Structure 1
Amino acid sequence: MATLMTGWLIPMLVVTLSHCCAATGPLSPPSHPKCHIPCDEKVCSVIQCTWDPRPDPKIPIKYHLQWEPANSEDGHMTSGNSSDGFIHREHFSNHGELRVWVQAWNQHGSVKSQDVVFNTEYIIRPPPPTFSSSHQDHLEVHWSTICDELQLSVGACEVRYRTEEHQDWVWYEDKLCDTYAVSDPQPGTVYEFQVRCACGSSLKSNWSVIHRIRSAESAPVGEVDVWRDCSIHPSRYDCFLTWKNLSISQARGLILGYEVSVFYNNGTVQVVNASAVELSTLSVYDEMMWRLTSSLKDVSSVSVSAYNALGSTDATHLVLPTPGEEGNDQTIDLEMQEENLTVSWKSPSHSPDNLKQYVVQYKECPSGQGFDWIKVDSSQTTALFEGAFKKHTSYQVSLFAVSNNNEVHQLSTAIGYSVQGAPPRVLSFQVFSYTDTEAILFWEHFPCSGHKGMILYYQIGVNSQKVYNISVSPGHGNKTFKLQDLNPGQDYKVWIRAVTAAGPGDTFTKMFKTLRQKKIADLVPVFVVIGLLALLISLAFILLCVGQGESKVCPLMPQCIYEKVPDPSNSHIFKQMKHQINEPLSWICNSINEPNPKISLLEVVEMKSRAFEPDGLTSPFVKDECSRTNSQEDQREDPASEECDRTDHRCGRKEYSKMVDSDEEKVDCWSSSEEEQCTSGYEKHFMPSSLEILAD
């Protein structure tokens, strides 16, 4: 028990002693006081002193300002103390010395600062001077002080000035009294002035309020910084003319507007007045840059000049490149932070003689915001941008060359990030095609999208067994990769993810199955079935056409597969053989129906008959009529079809069923009856009778 109490009391004793020692230790003395007499208008009422208190955070300390006359002979001065650092007017005179110090104490003791001795005349701080007048032509300013009211002489004054364009002060302090003039001021430039003065040997006053004055105007000089803002999407060529405000040193006055001339490919010219006084729908202005609202499509070149009330600048010309003229031969290096961007490149090995300057531009991707550019001399290879660049945002940086003829050529493009982050999941990922041992993977990659960082490479994993690192080729969009040495008929799980300097992104997973390997023997039954089906379809088509005869069902089938009927005019077979060389599938016709066709030309012979010669004379009518009929039949394409289309009593005859040669069977061709003729079966069936000829 005693041991336990001892172990508890010892730490408490150590803590108590440490506090006591710290509390009884010596105080740190405050700094010596700094005093001056501030004057407000015509009154200088108090002495104000300040010091560094150096407080102790554990124990509160009290401070008092104390003073006494520096010489005991000054009996009219009394000593005293103050806790607020002020010595009031009744305790000092305008011409006397004081000894001043600061006393500090607490419950454990006291300490004082070093003494300060000063003459009250020398610590007077008059109020700042006031500007009384100024002159614009030679840029001169005047001011006044209250030293006379203080019964003091005017001491030395200091002047500083600057322009709105350059915010660094220019100092001048060479025994000035109440006036100052700027030598060789910039025309039409706003100057800002400040002045401070001393009264006699007193302290100098604070700086006066800023006084602004514009110098006299003159005609502007230099050239307008003209450029074009094009879309970052390669599928479009939308460009707009843009230019920056003329600098103050070049404007030399108030710029009233800009005159823009647009030259088109067809030879026409459009002049646009972009007024800085009146708003217009033809141009927009965002306090830094101007922009034409119309596209530069079909425009060959442009020129821009600025003007004020006294004149205008020389026109700045810019020749627009042809759409599609882009290069990436020059390598550029980017060093990008949130505050600045440094772009560097190497001079081309074959630099053209007419190279005028380089242009470096950047643009936020993919929105196209945050657009800016810098033009540098052809001898420089570095450009510096200052600004606020967003985190995890890609910026497209491009390098251009401008010739002495103001022609523009793009040299290179790169993507930069101020702060990189892990990329998101790829937009799309799929198995494009696959076989039994291979598969092609496809995904999308856009160099100017929300990747949050520069993609270094892609990782592709297969079944948690293999991981492939796929490098990124700059300037390419869609990506593919072939998986090889896969097993046939097997399920696979494949994933992909992008990797930046900040690490890998989320994965995208796909499932697929390779094809089962097939042998040639497995395909034989398939080929046999396909062949049989094709044969059956062909036979069915042929039988259908044969059953329908020569009709419109099978207009393209050869005529030999139809049921043949000899031509009543005895000319169809002749025509068929005459045009046999042009008949489709003629070899089928010869092999099926008529291997060796014989053609006989039938002739109508004049016959003596009382039916034809009523007066007993022989008439050539029959012969002439038959000759003419045969000639007409030869000129027809298909006389049998034409004859059957008409309503004719001869077409209603029965088909000839048996061919009888005239040499095998003789029939008496004449009978005693005039109404009846004795002819062979072929002639009776096909040849027209005499009555039919006369009827025709």
Structure 2
Amino acid sequence: MATQRTRLVPHILLVLLSTCAAAGPPAPPSNLECYRPCDEKECSLIRCKWTPNPKINSSYHLYWMPANNMDGSITSEYSSDGIIYREQFPSDGDFRVWVEASNQYGSVRSQEILLNAEHIIKPPPPTFSSSSQDPLQIYWGSQEDPLEIHWGTICNNLQRQVGTCDVRYNTEDNQKFGFEDGLCSTYSVLDPQPGTIYEFQVRCACDSSLMSDWSKVLRIKSPESAPVGEVDVWRDCDVSSAGHNCFLTWKNLSISQGRGLILVYEISIIYSDDNVKQMNVSALESSSLSAYNETMWRLSSSLKDVSTVSVSAYNALGATNATHLVVPLKGKDGNDQTIHLLITDQNLTVSWDLPPQFSDNLKQYVVQYKECSPRQTFDWIKVDTDETEVYFQGTFKKYTPYRVSMFAVSNMNEVYQLSTAIGYSAQGAPSMVPTFKLLSVTATDATLFWEPVPFSKQNGVISNYLVGVEKQQVYNVTVTPEHGNQTLELKNLSPAHDYKVWISAVTAAGPGVKVTQTFKTKQSSLSLLGFLLVIPVILLVCFVFFLLNAIQGKGSVCRFWPQCVYEKIPDPRNSHIFRQAKNQINESFTWNSIRTYEPHPKISLLEIVERTPIAVDSNGLTRPVMKEECSQMDYEDGRRVDVVPEECDRTDHRYGKGEYSKMDNSDEERNDCSSSSEEEHYTSGYEKHFMPSVLEILGD
């Protein structure tokens, strides 16, 4: 209830204010007019009219008195209808008339008018001599005869002379309007348009009295003749369809061209294979062959595979010249035109500049517009080649695109498209982009893809698209009226980084709704080309080293070959077991078995026994062997094992890296200090190669 009371407060205040404003004396009445309406026999009363003030509540009274009576003794008071009856006014003299408005705050008078009862007679409208029962009179004269009308008045019945009369007329399509005054009882149209319906009205006065009201409308149709000119033929193409279908359209003939009732349209269609098809479209009733929308016709069948069409209009007396049109477009003409659009809610103005040089081959320009919506309002105008502007009248909706196209028609009726533009009566912010996605992505680059906003949702001419990459950068992508799908390549991105991008269409009214998309760039890696270049280089280097190794020989060490590729041969001195054993021997000077421990290796105890070896000379005699030339005997697990001589069987005395196979199998590399056959029976090549000598253990 509180809300309703709040709403009522302004209304109450308005009523109070209007009441206060209306308080006060009334305003004087205006436009006082009096006349004596007459019927067939007499003019019995005087009727007066005036304009009251509707804002002030007042009562009105009509007053009159003789013009020569100054004391005001004769007055009369009447209601607002202002009627003075015959017995209340003088018939042979002048009198003054005024109106008085009054209320509780006072009264006021209008200006006085001076009247004479004989001069304010207003006769009834005249009547035409033809029958008023027929809504349409047919003039049966020939085409060369003038169109005449006749009328009569009641001035004679009123014992008055006929005064002057006025005539006004126009054609049914309002293409011609005429007015004549100072007439008596007849009027003639000297050069009427054939087959045209004329509408006439007449008013007359008696003597010097007032003019009567206008008579009723008289409609007369002039005689018909064969139609003239040509039918305005064009083609309506649906550019949004996949097949780009076109349909034949034509406009009704004007009354001046038709010169009578058009009965049928004759259409001749010539196909690309030279086949010809004739058809007649009735102009009086609906047909499946065509559609009609009060101003123009449209053929139901498409113009696919049609090369030429011609159209003629027939009435009862003849036909128009055939209008020919070449259906397929002949491409762009050399003189391209740039058109300028100015659209309001009620009209469309299309203008262009004249080309620097006229083409003698051009016959006319055709400017058409079509609404880009399901309704698809369509119209066209044909003008001469020296014109620079056309004007369409209609209803143009806001935020609705209209496609305006300009064509040139040659003398051979071939059609060339010159220009196309999109216009709006009022623009708004566009809708969102229907599709926005990532097309491709690498470590540093990405390609974005989007579809343009459809015409029905653009709400204006889209001038550009704004593409933003997070808050770092905004790209301005300019488009054309006929743009298609758009792409944008983003560069200098960070590898393995998450990005958020957005897009928005822009019109004259501003940007539309944003559409966002997220993506992540890939990890940085070597390019495929670099990978393909590195692999052959590595293979080439390996081949060179293998080749050099083969040249040096199997038994020698190549200085170009890296140490890592050889078979790893352990160096006894690198083992900390033997280092610990040497320290223990030096400290205790005992040659008992040495027990050392290493984290992982498994090794037997080594017992060192000093003895004097016996060597056999060439004469078969035995002799002691010197210490430097003697072998050392090991006992491992109860077996006697010969230790490899230090100076003879080692390729490198310092590192001990002689090959096992060479020491075990090659007789050429054995020196003269080899063990006897008995010792060889108990000594393996592995022990000779890997077991350290006493000098290695005790040496510095």
Q: TM-score, normalised by structure 1?
A: 0.68
* 1:295-374 matched pairs, under 5 angstroms: 295-322=302-329, 329-367=336-374, 369-374=376-381
The residue aligned with 2:159 is: 151
Q: Is the 8 A contact 1:27 1:111 kept in 2?
A: yes
Change in Cα spacing, 1:95 to 1:259, as seen in structure 2 (3 Å) is farther
Q: Is the 8 A contact 1:226 1:242 kept in 2?
A: yes
Q: Distance in 2 between matches of 1:263 and 1:222?
A: 22
The residue aligned with 1:33 is: 32
Return the offset for 1:351. Answer: 3.3
Q: Is the 8 A contact 2:432 2:515 kept in 1?
A: yes
> How big is the alpha-carbon RMSD for the aligned residues of Structure 1 and Structure 2?
3.0
Letter in 1 for 2:78: S
Return the offset for 1:167. Answer: 5.4
Q: Distance in 2 between matches of 1:22 and 1:132?
A: 54
SS at match of 2:174: coil
Q: Distance in 1 between matches of 2:531 and 2:235?
A: 68
The residue aligned with 1:287 is: 294
Return the offset for 1:267. Answer: 1.2
Letter in 2 for 1:518: S
Q: TM-score, normalised by structure 2?
A: 0.67
The residue aligned with 1:193 is: 200
Q: Is the 8 A contact 1:447 1:475 kept in 2?
A: no
The residue aligned with 1:46 is: 45
Q: Distance in 2 between matches of 1:165 and 1:99?
A: 47
* 1:217-256 matched pairs, under 5 angstroms: 217-233=224-240, 235-256=242-263
Deviations 1:69-122 (A, max 9, x none): 22459x9x9530223122123212554322101223333433322221111111
Q: Distance in 2 between matches of 1:326 and 1:447?
A: 29
Deviations 1:441-477 (A, max 9, x none): 1111167433111112111111133222211123221
The residue aligned with 1:661 is: none
Return the offset for 1:347. Answer: 2.2
1:496 is aligned to 2:503: yes
Q: Distance in 2 between matches of 1:296 and 1:50?
A: 66
Q: Is the 8 A contact 1:342 1:383 kept in 2?
A: yes
1:139 is aligned to 2:135: no
The residue aligned with 1:130 is: 127
Q: Is the 8 A contact 1:38 1:44 kept in 2?
A: yes
The residue aligned with 2:574 is: none
Return the offset for 1:434. Answer: 1.3
1:207 is aligned to 2:214: yes
Deviations 1:313-363 (A, max 9, x none): 111111122587699942111111111111111223343211110000000
Q: Distance in 1 between matches of 2:140 and 2:59?
A: 56
Count of aligned residue pairs for this structure pair:
504
* 1:71-110 matched pairs, under 5 angstroms: 71-72=68-69, 79-84=75-80, 85-110=82-107
Q: Distance in 1 between matches of 2:434 and 2:474?
A: 20
Q: Distance in 2 between matches of 1:307 and 1:55?
A: 59
SS at match of 1:450: helix
Q: Distance in 1 between matches of 2:125 and 2:98?
A: 29
The residue aligned with 1:391 is: 398
Q: Distance in 1 between matches of 2:90 and 2:158?
A: 13
Q: Distance in 1 between matches of 2:401 and 2:46?
A: 60
Change in Cα spacing, 1:465 to 1:37, as seen in structure 2 (3 Å) is farther
Match of 1:460 among 464, 467, 474: 467
Letter in 1 for 2:28: P
Letter in 2 for 1:516: Q
1:259 is aligned to 2:270: no
Return the offset for 1:40. Answer: 4.1
Q: Distance in 1 between matches of 2:313 and 2:120?
A: 54
The residue aligned with 2:387 is: 380
1:173 is aligned to 2:184: no
Q: Is the 8 A contact 2:332 2:418 kept in 1?
A: no
Return the offset for 1:184. Answer: 0.6
Q: Is the 8 A contact 1:328 1:412 kept in 2?
A: no
Q: Is the 8 A contact 2:341 2:349 kept in 1?
A: yes
Q: Distance in 2 between matches of 1:168 and 1:352?
A: 36
Deviations 1:394-414 (A, max 9, x none): 011000000111111001111
Q: Unpaired runs of 5+ in structure 1?
A: 1-18, 529-696
Change in Cα spacing, 1:27 to 1:284, as seen in structure 2 (3 Å) is closer
Point out the structure with max Rg over C-alpha: 2
Q: Is the 8 A contact 1:330 1:411 kept in 2?
A: yes
Of stretches 84-93 and 299-308 in structure 1, the one that deviates more from structure 2 is: 84-93
Change in Cα spacing, 1:459 to 1:447, as seen in structure 2 (3 Å) is same
Return the offset for 1:56. Answer: 6.0
Q: Is the 8 A contact 1:494 1:510 kept in 2?
A: yes
Q: Is the 8 A contact 2:309 2:324 kept in 1?
A: yes
Change in Cα spacing, 1:280 to 1:106, as seen in structure 2 (3 Å) is closer
Return the offset for 1:365. Answer: 0.7
Q: Distance in 2 between matches of 1:385 and 1:22?
A: 48
Return the offset for 1:283. Answer: 2.1
Q: Distance in 1 between matches of 2:450 and 2:129?
A: 74
Return the offset for 1:142. Answer: 1.6
* 1:657-668 matched pairs, under 5 angstroms: none
The residue aligned with 2:563 is: none
Change in Cα spacing, 1:21 to 1:186, as seen in structure 2 (3 Å) is closer
SS at match of 1:207: coil
Letter in 2 for 1:67: W
Q: Distance in 1 between matches of 2:402 and 2:249?
A: 19
Q: Distance in 2 between matches of 1:473 and 1:432?
A: 22
Q: Is the 8 A contact 1:161 1:193 kept in 2?
A: yes
Q: Distance in 2 between matches of 1:366 and 1:285?
A: 19
Change in Cα spacing, 1:473 to 1:33, as seen in structure 2 (3 Å) is closer
Q: Unpaired runs of 5+ in structure 2?
A: 1-18, 131-136, 536-700
Letter in 1 for 2:388: T
Return the offset for 1:216. Answer: 0.3
Q: Distance in 1 between matches of 2:454 and 2:332?
A: 19
* 1:501-516 matched pairs, under 5 angstroms: 501-516=508-523
Change in Cα spacing, 1:440 to 1:328, as seen in structure 2 (3 Å) is farther
Q: Distance in 1 between matches of 2:501 and 2:22?
A: 70
Change in Cα spacing, 1:286 to 1:409, as seen in structure 2 (3 Å) is same
Q: Distance in 1 between matches of 2:176 and 2:96?
A: 41
The residue aligned with 1:484 is: 491
1:402 is aligned to 2:413: no
Match of 1:442 among 434, 449, 453: 449
Q: Distance in 2 between matches of 1:255 and 1:500?
A: 48
Deviations 1:639-694 (A, max 9, x none): xxxxxxxxxxxxxxxxxxxxxxxxxxxxxxxxxxxxxxxxxxxxxxxxxxxxxxxx
Q: Is the 8 A contact 1:394 1:450 kept in 2?
A: no
The residue aligned with 2:641 is: none
The residue aligned with 1:541 is: none
Deviations 1:239-297 (A, max 9, x none): 11111111110111111111111111111111111121343322222221112111111
Q: Distance in 1 between matches of 2:210 and 2:22?
A: 42
Q: Percent identity?
A: 59
Return the offset for 1:22. Answer: 10
Q: Distance in 1 between matches of 2:281 and 2:443?
A: 67
Q: Distance in 1 between matches of 2:152 and 2:525?
A: 107
Letter in 1 for 2:207: G
Q: Is the 8 A contact 1:396 1:448 kept in 2?
A: no
Q: Distance in 1 between matches of 2:224 and 2:235?
A: 30
Deviations 1:214-259 (A, max 9, x none): 0000111111111111112274221111111111101111111111
